């Protein structure tokens, strides 16, 4: 039995339009700003990708995320350089283990995510 389907992930953001533009660059799609201050990157339900929404919240982010995104990329170094050029911050170096490789990053508001290249 399925209770429901994931419709969207919602992230609190000091600047929702800016964060939506950053994530539209990372994931593809277009950043949309709503009149009420929210912004989002539309998902692709057929591909299993829900909408990523950003709600206004002036409080600064504190502590580590309890959940984070892993973004599969063909080239970790190139992806890291591209997102850093758009305002992300590296956290440590690239890690390689039996599952593949990953680089931890923070988006422009400090939310942790990883670019990953799993073992195929």
Tens of pLDDT, residue by residue, the chain (120 residues): 889 878 899 999 999 999 999 999 999 999 999 999 999 999 887 777 899 999 999 998 898 899 999 999 999 999 999 999 999 999 999 999 999 999 999 999 999 999 999 887
Q: What is residue 49's DSSP assignment?
A: B
Residues in the chain, total? 120
- Cα torsion angle, 79, 81, 86, 90, sign: positive
> Is the CB of residue 9 less than 8 Å from the CB of residue 49?
no
Give me the pLDDT at residue 7, please. 85
Quick check: helix, strand or coil at residue 106?
A: strand
């Amino acid at each position: 039995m399925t209770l429901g389907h994931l419709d969207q992930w919602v992230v609190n953001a000091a600047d929702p339009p800016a964060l939506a533009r950053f994530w539209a660059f990372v994931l593809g799609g277009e950043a949309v700003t709503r009149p009420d201050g929210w912004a989002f990157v539309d998902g692709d339900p057929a591909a299993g990708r829900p909408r990523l929404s950003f709600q206004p919240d002036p409080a600064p982010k504190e502590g580590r995320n309890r959940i984070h995104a892993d973004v599969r990329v063909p080239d970790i170094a190139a992806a890291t350089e591209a997102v850093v050029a758009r305002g992300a911050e590296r956290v440590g170096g690239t890690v390689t283990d039996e599952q593949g490789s990953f680089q931890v990053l923070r988006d422009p508001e400090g939310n942790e995510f990883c670019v990953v290249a799993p073992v195929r």
